[in-house]
């Protein structure tokens, strides 16, 4: 200990002042960080408010998909966390953060076979201002997991014709494999949001 203080005594005044200043800055940083953590912890949570479940365009597309695919169940706004799980990494333990890449992302529609509960396909509706790289990254993850993704362009209107063009092959395959296993057809009428979104109402 005496040797330590002896070495300190050999330092120049400028070096000692610099060291003291660094200690003061570190102490202030620690104190400020602790105050911020305490304030964030004690702040009340924001009050949740309701928001629309689907946009008009997606609401109209859901109705169109149900018309074209009455033999399947169609789930809207499904978390990717319900579809994907973090796979193992050779030689590494699984971390709690391994699923962060997809946990908070949403798939627009999931088509499910009601007889087996298996997922037939995923449907994504592109947005006009969406980042192309984001769409590619999302689809790469679902494709790697074995899911088929069907994309509906941002320029396509939410109509039965658009739904038929996108998923008509799924309908044809289902009818060929089990033509008798279908749900009751929906009444033939125009979905009100379809006309409103597409500018005819």
pLDDT tens track of the chain, all 201 residues? 555 545 555 556 666 667 677 777 787 878 787 777 766 666 677 888 998 899 999 999 999 999 999 999 999 999 988 898 877 665 555 555 555 667 778 899 999 999 899 999 999 998 887 677 778 888 888 998 899 999 999 999 999 999 999 999 999 999 888 755 455 455 445 555 555 556 544
Q: Give residue 4's pLDDT.
A: 52
pTM for the full predicted model: 0.65
For residues 102 and 161, membership in a common domain is answered with: yes
For residues 63 and 159, membership in a common domain is answered with: yes
Whether 84 is in a domain gets the answer yes
Residue 170's contacts (CB-CB under 8 Å, 6 or more residues apart) are 69, 72, 111, 120, 121
Q: Where are the beta strands (DSSP E) in 45-118?
A: 73-79, 106-112
For residues 12 and 64, membership in a common domain is answered with: no
Say how many domains are in the chain.
2
For residues 72 and 137, membership in a common domain is answered with: yes
Q: Give residue 194's pLDDT.
A: 55
Residue 30 lies in domain:
2-42
Q: Give residue 123's pLDDT.
A: 96
For residues 30 and 121, membership in a common domain is answered with: no
Whether 35 is in a domain gets the answer yes
For residues 27 and 71, membership in a common domain is answered with: no
For residues 24 and 120, membership in a common domain is answered with: no
Whether 184 is in a domain gets the answer no
Identify the CATH number of the domain in which residue 173 sits.
3.40.1350.10
Whether 185 is in a domain gets the answer no
Whether 47 is in a domain gets the answer no
For residues 94 and 150, membership in a common domain is answered with: yes
Q: Give residue 129's pLDDT.
A: 77
Residue 124's contacts (CB-CB under 8 Å, 6 or more residues apart) are 107, 108, 109, 135, 138, 139, 149, 150, 151, 152
For residues 80 and 173, membership in a common domain is answered with: yes
Q: Give residue 185's pLDDT.
A: 52
């Amino acid at each position: 200990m005496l040797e330590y203080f002896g070495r300190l005594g050999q330092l120049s005044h400028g070096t000692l002042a610099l060291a003291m200043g660094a200690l003061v800055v570190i102490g202030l940083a620690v104190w400020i960080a602790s105050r911020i953590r305490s304030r964030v912890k004690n702040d009340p949570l924001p009050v949740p408010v309701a928001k629309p479940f689907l946009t008009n365009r997606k609401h109209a597309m859901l109705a169109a998909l149900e018309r074209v695919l009455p033999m399947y169940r169609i789930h809207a706004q499904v978390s990717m966390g319900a579809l994907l799980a973090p796979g193992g990494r050779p030689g590494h333990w699984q971390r709690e953060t391994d699923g962060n890449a997809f946990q908070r992302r949403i798939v627009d529609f999931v088509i499910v076979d009601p007889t087996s509960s298996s997922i037939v396909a995923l449907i994504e509706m592109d947005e006009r201002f969406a980042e192309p790289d984001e769409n590619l990254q999302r689809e790469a993850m679902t494709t790697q997991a074995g899911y088929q993704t069907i994309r509906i362009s941002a320029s396509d209107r939410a109509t039965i014709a658009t739904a038929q063009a996108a998923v008509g092959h799924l309908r044809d395959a289902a009818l060929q494999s089990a033509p008798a296993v279908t749900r009751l057809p929906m009444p033939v009428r125009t979905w009100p949001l379809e006309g409103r979104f597409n500018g005819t109402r």
